[in-house]
Copies of this chain bind each other. A is one copy, B any other.
Amino acid sequence: MVTQKYHHGDLKNALIKAGIEILSSDGVGGLSLRKVAQRAGVSHSAPYAHFADKQALIAAISTEGYRRLYERLLSVNRNYSGDPLRQLVEAAWVYTRFALDDPAHFKITLSGIIEKEKDYPAFVEMSQRSFSVVAEIVRACQQEGILEPGDTDAVAVSVWSLVHGFVSLLLEGQISHTVTERMSTRELLIFTLNRMVEKPIPSEWVAEEGNI
């Protein structure tokens, strides 16, 4: 049976959900096992029946973060099928929106708080799946001359680096105010993507929020 109904019902997922909620309200520093347990309505040691330690819970929360990102990336690909440039822009935008909407969840998922990712295969798999969506977009862009040809995985790393770096600097407040005062976040993202792309991104897209 997948969803076991013991005392609580589905405590494992309840703990993940509680953790995400606490991240949203109290930030990364406010996430404690005991608070998570309390919010789920169980005693402070109950989580140990489902997670080996705090790292394991964080890994599960991160995996869920990646899963949500992955689903939105797939959704973008579906909604803009046949338009790789638009897929690229909206995939980057989805990434940015995740970070802005839920900064703490984004950080814990993608800012390397997990020390040994190797120990959490589910996390590694979701991360690889997300990367492969990006690689697929990159491949399509290469076929249309939007991105330079060559090693698709390497180009995908470059593109992913650009987007991830942009979002990271954004979250850390490290982007100069002289820039953010003049351009919206979406405008700056598109400006940045334009540095890497062979054909210009239509300027109308700045105003159009992509459909997810």
Chain A interfacial positions (CB closer than 8 Å to B): 27, 29, 107, 110-112, 115, 117-118, 127-128, 131, 148, 151, 153-166, 168-169, 171-176, 178-179, 182-183, 188, 191-192, 195-196
Contact = CB atoms under 8 A, between A and B. Distances in A.
A27 B115 contact: yes
Nearest to A160: B169
Contacts of A173: 117-118
A194 to B, nearest CB: 8
A176 B148 contact: no
Contact of A165 (B112, B148, B164): B164
Given A164-B169, A165-B168, A176-B153, A192 B158 contact: yes
Give this chain's copy count. Answer: 2
A156 B192 CA distance: 10
Contact of A157 (B160, B163, B188): B188
Given A107-B112, A161-B166, A196-B195, A153 B179 contact: yes
Nearest to A159: B195
A87 B51 CA distance: 48
A4 to B, nearest CB: 32
B128 A157 contact: no
The 10 A-B pairs with the shortest beta carbon distances in the complex, nearest first, are A165-B165, A161-B165, A112-B172, A161-B166, A164-B165, A158-B192, A158-B195, A162-B162, A153-B179, A195-B196
Contacts of A161: 162, 165-166, 168-169, 192
Contact of A176 (B107, B128, B195): B128
- Which residue among A118, A128, A161, A171 has the maximum number of chain B CB atoms within 10 Å of its CB? A161
Contact of A179 (B29, B157, B169, B172): B157
A26 to B, nearest CB: 11
Contact of A154 (B112, B118, B188): B188
